[in-house]
Amino acid sequence: MDLAGQVGRRLRELRTEQGISLSELARRSGLGKATLSELESGRRNPTLETLYALTTALSTHLTAVLTPATAQAEVSGGAVDAVLLERYQDDEATTEVFRVRVRAGALQESPAHPPGTTERIIVLGGTARVGPTGAATLVGPGRQADWAADVPHEYSAPDGDAEAVLVVRYPRPGGAAAPR
Amino acid sequence: MDLAGQVGRRLRELRTEQGISLSELARRSGLGKATLSELESGRRNPTLETLYALTTALSTHLTAVLTPATAQAEVSGGAVDAVLLERYQDDEATTEVFRVRVRAGALQESPAHPPGTTERIIVLGGTARVGPTGAATLVGPGRQADWAADVPHEYSAPDGDAEAVLVVRYPRPGGAAAPR
DNA sequence: CGCCTCCGTTCCATAAACAGAACGTTCTGT
DNA sequence: ACAGAACGTTCTGTTTATGGAACGGAGGCG
């Protein structure tokens, strides 16, 4: 599990996405070209200062570079890439927050989860089609949808990849019945 | 604004919260005591590897130690502690996802954000009272609320601390339509 | 009181991250 | 075709982050 390699790849992604050359980024960030070159190829172990200089020069946050490397639990499938951002647990339920990308074209069917499980998606960009199989709805940027996930459900993205946050809530099996 | 100092303070916070001694943490993480000591006092500029070893030894993720230095300030205040989980940006909008804790008793008033800004909260545990000042609503575990954040709004937790995920969406100032 | 253990800080040698220069390669314009 | 510039990589010397070994101080116990 090469941490430097992952961060390096992510840095190069961010830079090329913005159409900036390595030399240009070196100028903007005040770092040496050598530093950037070896960093992006995963041959170095950057300093906090270096990372900060880089991410601000790329006008993002440190987390943009680090999150893909930190999150471990992947619950991905055919059309969905998911990265666990947060996991919360109390007497009533366990809740997991994922950052997901729904890939265009493909359809992912998810089997029923335990009784009482609910899912909620908040779309950041693109349009996703999600919900119980047969009753999926379209969700655009900034909008949300929620559904009971104890029946089969599906994810797809009709018009290009969709980026979203997915919140899955599993009520505690034996635990405190949640009155409402 | 001293980055190393901020991270150092945050590290010491996390360590003492867990009641671990510096020497003990050194053993668990495989790092030298010197490293930890000077790190926590902000006299060093840690390496990515070092930070990773530390945060995993403290059983958190990198963002827990880094976000307070970058973005937390925007949302955090009297009654709200926020940690940035994710930041997404496209032609239409910038969306930030925070993990927040609303402390019991206190009330936080947030001034109006730029026009078009919306906020959405998903409560993981406890009960939060959120929304535009004067029109706040109660939100229980597993439930959500959303509101326009371009007017003053407020956060509070009447019955004990509330844990939640907060999604803030800032539409792009120049307006959407960006031809590609 | 000693003695021992554990704490956090400071000192020191080593390894490695960094900046700058030199390099080969690929475009661009004349 | 050539000159020039910009690109990304590799080389070299300096700075510094790191681990291990002291160090002084604060309990715990016989």
pLDDT digits (tens, 9 = 90+) for B109-141: 887 877 888 999 999 999 999 999 989 999 999
- Average pLDDT across chain A, whole number: 84
Minimum CA–CA partner of A90 in chain B: B125
Which sign does the torsion angle of CA A70, B65, B55, A5 carry? positive
Q: Which residues of chain B make contact with A122, given a CB cutoff of 8 A? A: 120, 167
- For the domain made up of A3-64, give the CATH fold: 434 Repressor (Amino-terminal Domain) (1.10.260)
Minimum CA–CA partner of A70 in chain B: B61
Q: Are A108 and A156 in contact (CB under 8 A)?
A: yes
Q: Tell me the domain boundaries of chain B.
A: 3-64, 77-171
pLDDT of residue A68: 53
pLDDT at B169 over 60: yes
Model's pTM, two decimal places?
0.61
Question: Of B63, B141, B169, which has the smallest distance from its Cβ to A178's Cβ?
Answer: B141
Separation between the CA of A65 and the C1’ of D9 (whole angstroms): 23
Burial status of residue B65 (CB atoms within 10 A of its CB: 0-12, 13-18, 19 or more): buried
pLDDT of residue B60: 76
State the pLDDT confidence band at B67, using cuts at 50, 70 and 90.
Answer: low
pLDDT at B73 over 70: no
Superfamily, domain A77-171: Jelly Rolls (2.60.120.10)
Buried b (16+ CB within 10 A) or exposed e, B75-87: bbeebbbbbbbbb
A107: how many CB neighbours lie within 10 A of its CB? Answer: 16
CA B114 to chain centre: 20
Q: Are B86 and B67 in contact (CB under 8 A)?
A: no
pLDDT of residue A78: 66
pLDDT at A58 over 90: no
Lowest-pLDDT choice from A2-16, B21-35, B77-91, B133-147: B77-91
Greater confidence, B144 or A70? B144
Q: What angle is formed at CA B41 by the lines to CA B24 and CA A62, rounded to 5 degrees?
A: 95
Mean pLDDT over A137-158 rounds to: 93
A5: how many CB neighbours lie within 10 A of its CB? Answer: 14
Strands of the sheet with B107-110, listed across from one edge: B107-110, B153-156, B128-132, B137-139
State the pLDDT confidence band at B2, using cuts at 50, 70 and 90.
Answer: confident
CA nearest to B64, candidates B39, B85, B87: B85
How far apart (Å, rounded) are the C-alpha atoms in residues B24 and B26? 5
DSSP B149: -
Mean pLDDT over A59-76 rounds to: 60
Mean pLDDT over B75-92 rounds to: 75
The answer to whether residue B59 neighbours chain A at the CB level (below 8 Å) is no
Separation between the CA of B144 and the C1’ of D13 (whole angstroms): 59
Q: Is B175's CB less than 7 Å from nucleic acid strand D?
A: no
